[in-house]
Structure 1
Amino acid sequence: MKVCAKMNTLKELSENRPIVILGAKNTGIDFYHFLKRHNIHNFLFYVDNKIQNDKTVSIESFCDYLRKCDKKPYAIIASRFMMKDFSDLCDVFRMKYTEDYCKATDYLGPSYQIDLHNRCNLKCPSCPQGNYTPQGKQEFMPFDKFTSIVDKILLETPNLSNIALYCWSEPFLRTDLKKFIEYVQEKNISLQLSTNLNHDFDIRQIVSLNIDYLRISTSGYYFSTYNRDHPSRRERESYHVISNLRELRRHLDELKCSTLVDIAFHKYKYNIGDDLEKMKLLSEELHFYLTPFNAVPLPIENYIRLCQNDTYLYKKMECQKFINDPISIVRDHQNFKYENCSFANAIAITPSGALRVCCGSFDKKNILTDDICGIKISDIRATREKHKLCKDCRRFGIPHAFETVVS
C-alpha cells in the first residue's frame, strides 16, 4: 500500500479519538514526528516505564486510563523489545489489531545516517576510525548539499523514520552544526545525534535546540578503563565524559528540555564489572537512559576479513578483548538463512553525498553511487543486495549474528 493510502487509513482509524504511542524511545519519537508531518495532531501521550518526561505515562497509568475512558484511544506499538507485552496488553482490553492498534513499523520507512564530515577525535577499537585504513583527505558536507539531500529524502520517502547526523564521525566537531540541526527540525523529522562527549564544545547551545535523541558513546567510567583504548597523557581528560554528562544534565534542567539522552556503553571483557555498575548508578542519578551492548569489530569489511580467517587482522585488532569472539559468532550463525538484516532499513550517506553499501560499511570502494541525488531511493535496497559486500555479509551469516549477539 502506498504511503498516502496508508496515511488516509490511519487518519480514518484514529479519527475522533486520541493516539497513544506505546514506547517512548527512538521508534516512538520517530512516529510522533511522522504524525506531525502528516497533520495528525491528536497525540495524547507515550507509554513507557523506563522513560520519564511530561509526555510519558507508566504502563500502570495507561491501564487505569483504559479502564476509565469512554472511548478507547488508537494505540501505536513502537517498541521492538516490548512488542509482545504491548500486544498482549491491547488484547486484554479487547483492542483489535488494525482497528484499535497497529505497529509503528506498519507505517515507518527507512532511516538515514548522514556524515557531515569524516573526522573523529578518538580511535575506538570497534570503529573504523580506530581500526581501519584511513580513507583519504578530510571531507566536509556543504550546507546547500545537505539541504538538497534532506529535501530529496522527504520527497521520495515521506514515511522516513529519522535522520541521524552521524555514521562514522563525531558531529560535534563541526562548529556550524546548529544550522544542520535546525534544518532537520524545520521539516518535522525525528533527529538523532551521537557524541563521545570527550572534547570541548558548546553543550548549552546544542541543548537549547531541544533535539529528540542524543546518544553518548562510551566504554568506561574509570580513567584506567577508558584510557585502555583511548590513551591520554593527562588523567583528567578521561573524566571529560563524566563531567560533561553532569553539565549536560544541568543545562537540560535549566532550559527545561526533553531530549532523550541514551548512554551507549560498549561492553568489552575488561569493562563489564565495576565500570558498568558505576555507569548504571550515574545514569540513574542523572535520569539518563543506559544501553549496554556487546562491542563488535565493525566495519563490515573487517568482519568479512575475520570470517575469511585473516589471522593478521585478528591479532592487530586484539579480538580477544571482545566478549564474543567474532569467528565463533559467525561459525554459530552462518547456517541461518538471510531474512532480516538490522542494517537493511538504514541508508548511509558520506560527506561528499555518496551512498554507502550500508551503514555498517566504511571503505570507499564499497559505494553504490557517488551522489545519492542521482539514484531513486526506492531502488537502493535492490541495488545494494546485488553488491559483493552485501552478498558476502549474508553468506557468512553476519546479519543474524548481529541480531542475536550485540544485545
Structure 2
Amino acid sequence: MNILIDRIPTPSQLKTLIGDRAVHIWGARHDGYAAHHVLNRHGIDIQAFIDSSRALQGQRVFGKDIQLPDPFFANATPQTAFILIASGFHADAIADDCRRHGFQVGRDVLIQGDLRLFNYQIDIAGSCNLRCISCPRGNFDTHRPKGFMSADVYRALLDKILSDDPYTGIITLYNWGEPLLNRELPEILAITHAHGLLSALSSNLSFKLDFESVIAARPTWFRISVSGWEERYEITHTGGNWARLMENVRRLAEYRDRHHPEMLVEVFYHIYNDNRDDIRRWQALCDELGFMLRYRHAALAPLDNIEAILEGRAVNERVQRTMALQQLQVEEVMRLALAERHRPCYYERHLWINWNLEIAHCMEWYRPDLNLVPESFMDTTPEQLIAAREASEFCARCKERGIHRCFIVYSDERLIAERDSLPLAAGAD
C-alpha cells in the first residue's frame, strides 16, 4: 500500500505540474466521476475521458467525450496532454501503457490513488430486501447487526472524511445493503452534495417503496443490478419480483426526467450460463430509456466462499446453486487470478464503513467479526488506518493466494469477449 501522506501534492502544486496541458481522465466510471469533480472543485477543467470499454463508446459523461486509448495516443503527446488514471482495477496496467507511449508517471501521469487516501464505501443500510444466492445476504447465515445510519451521524462522518482526506470526490452509499431502504436517504444525499461531494447509489429496485424523493435529491450516479429477463431474473436475484422491477425501472427514468436529467444511470448485468441472450433485451431497454449498460461474469461473493472452495471446505446449497449457474467457474477464475497475484489489490485503498461506524477489514470479505481496527471510524486517524492495512497478515495471505484479484477477473470485459459470453461483447477492446 505504501501511502505517504506528506507526499500528496497540494492543489496549487497539482496545477503547476499540469501547466497548460489538456487534462484527460482515464476511467469513465464512478472513480472517474470523482476525479472529474475533485479537479473541477480545484479549478482544473478536463478535456475528455479515456476508457477501453466498448460498452461506453458513444457515451458522454458530464458533457465530455469518452475516447478509446488508441485514438488518444495517436493524437496526444506528453507536451500537450496530462493523464489522471482513475481506474481502480487496472491502474498499474494503464500506467505501463502510458509509459510505452512516452508518458512519464509523476510528470505526465498521476494515479488518482496518489492524491486521495481511500475510496469511501458507506453502507447506510444494514439490511437488504433480497436474498440473492450469489451474495452473502443470501448465502451467509451470520451477518453484521441490522440497522440504518442516521443523517446526523452521516453528517459528522463526512466532516471527518473531508478533514482527513480533502481529495475525496465521491461517496459510495452502498455495499451489501439496499440503500433505498434507509428512509433518511434523501437527507443523506443532500448532506453529501452540501459537502461538495458526488454520490453513488446501487439498488435492486425490486420493492414496493416509492423512491421519487430519492431521485429528487439528485444522486449523481445510480446503478441497477440485474441478471436475466423475466423468470430468469428471479432465480439469481432471489426474492426479486420481475414485474415490480420493470415498473420501477420505468419510474426511475420518469423521475430522472422530472427531477434530475443529468443523473447517470447504469444497468449492471450479471452474466450466468442461462441468460446470455437476455442482454439484447436489456440493451434495447437501455437505449429506449437513455441508460448505460455494463456487464460482468456473475461472481460468487463474498471472498469467504472463494477461500472455502480453495481449501476444500464444504459450502452450502445456495453457493452450490450459484456455481452451477455460473458462466465462469471458480476454478478458472482462480487460475487466472493466481497468475496475476503480483498485481496490486484494488480493495486495500477502500474503506467499507458500516452503518454503525465499524470499519470492515475489506469490502469483499464478509465475516461479521472481521474489522480493520477495533475502534469506530470516528475514533481512528488516517495514520492508524494505513498502519493497520500495511501490517495486516490477513491481507498478506489473501494476496499471496491471488484471491485479491478474483473479482477483477470476473469483471474483465476482454475475457467476456474472448469467451464469447455475450452477443454484445464481440470486438471489445
Aligned pair 1:258/2:266, yes or no?
A: no
Partner of 2:186: 178
User: Residue 391 of structure 1: CA displacement?
Assistant: 3.9
User: Residue 169 of structure 1: CA displacement?
Assistant: 0.1
Q: Tell me how far apart the structure 2 counterparts of residues 185 and 367 of structure 1 sit (CA, whole Å).
A: 29
Superposed, 1:4-403 pairs within 5 Å as 5-14=9-18, 19-21=23-25, 23-37=27-41, 39-43=42-46, 46=49, 49-52=57-60, 55-57=63-65, 59=67, 76-78=84-86, 102-135=110-143, 137-222=145-230, 224-230=231-237, 237-272=241-276, 274-313=277-316, 316-318=319-321, 319-331=323-335, 333-334=337-338, 336-368=340-372, 369-384=374-389, 386-387=391-392, 389-403=394-408
Q: Tell me how far apart the structure 2 counterparts of residues 82 and 100 of structure 1 sit (CA, whole Å).
A: 15
User: Residue 246 of structure 1: CA displacement?
Assistant: 2.1
Aligned length: 396
CA distance change for structure 1 residues 243 and 50 in 2, over 3 Å: closer, same or farther?
farther
For 1:118, the aligned partner's letter is G
The 3-state SS of whatever aligns with 1:150 is helix
In angstroms, what is the RMSD of aligned CA positions?
A: 3.6
Give the percent of matched residue pairs that are identical in Structure 1 and Structure 2: 23
Q: Tell me how far apart the structure 1 counterparts of residues 350 and 356 of structure 2 sit (CA, whole Å).
A: 18
Conserved 8 A contact 1:221-1:242: no
The 3-state SS of whatever aligns with 1:373 is helix
The 3-state SS of whatever aligns with 2:357 is coil
Q: Which moved more, 1:140-149 or 1:387-396?
A: 387-396
For 1:400, the aligned partner's letter is R
Q: Tell me how far apart the structure 2 counterparts of residues 314 and 306 of structure 1 sit (CA, whole Å).
A: 13
The 3-state SS of whatever aligns with 1:281 is helix
The 3-state SS of whatever aligns with 1:140 is coil
- Listed one character per residue, the Cα deviations across residues 23-81 of structure 1 (whole Å, up to 9, x for unaligned) are 543222111221244x3254566567342356223549xx89x99xxx95755454577
Conserved 8 A contact 1:357-1:387: no
| TM-score normalised according to structure 2 size | 0.79
- Listed one character per residue, the Cα deviations across residues 142-166 of structure 1 (whole Å, up to 9, x for unaligned) are 3332222222211112223532111
CA distance change for structure 1 residues 308 and 121 in 2, over 3 Å: closer, same or farther?
same
For 1:311, the aligned partner's letter is A
For 2:266, the aligned partner's letter is D
CA distance change for structure 1 residues 45 and 397 in 2, over 3 Å: closer, same or farther?
closer
CA distance change for structure 1 residues 161 and 54 in 2, over 3 Å: closer, same or farther?
closer
Q: Which moved more, 1:206-215 or 1:373-382?
A: 373-382
Q: Tell me how far apart the structure 2 counterparts of residues 150 and 287 of structure 1 sit (CA, whole Å).
A: 32
User: Residue 309 of structure 1: CA displacement?
Assistant: 0.8
User: Residue 132 of structure 1: CA displacement?
Assistant: 0.4
Q: Tell me how far apart the structure 2 counterparts of residues 337 and 86 of structure 1 sit (CA, whole Å).
A: 18
Q: Tell me how far apart the structure 1 counterparts of residues 287 and 27 of structure 2 sit (CA, whole Å).
A: 19
User: Residue 5 of structure 1: CA displacement?
Assistant: 3.1
For 2:43, the aligned partner's letter is I
Q: Tell me how far apart the structure 1 counterparts of residues 139 and 100 of structure 2 sit (CA, whole Å).
A: 48
Q: Which moved more, 1:262-271 or 1:45-54?
A: 45-54
Q: Which runs of 5+ in 1 are unaligned?
A: none
| TM-score normalised according to structure 1 size | 0.83
User: Residue 133 of structure 1: CA displacement?
Assistant: 1.1
Q: Which runs of 5+ in 2 are unaligned?
A: 52-56, 413-429
The 3-state SS of whatever aligns with 1:264 is strand
User: Residue 401 of structure 1: CA displacement?
Assistant: 3.0
CA distance change for structure 1 residues 254 and 18 in 2, over 3 Å: closer, same or farther?
farther
Q: Tell me how far apart the structure 2 counterparts of residues 5 and 54 of structure 1 sit (CA, whole Å).
A: 25
For 1:226, the aligned partner's letter is Y
The 3-state SS of whatever aligns with 1:401 is helix
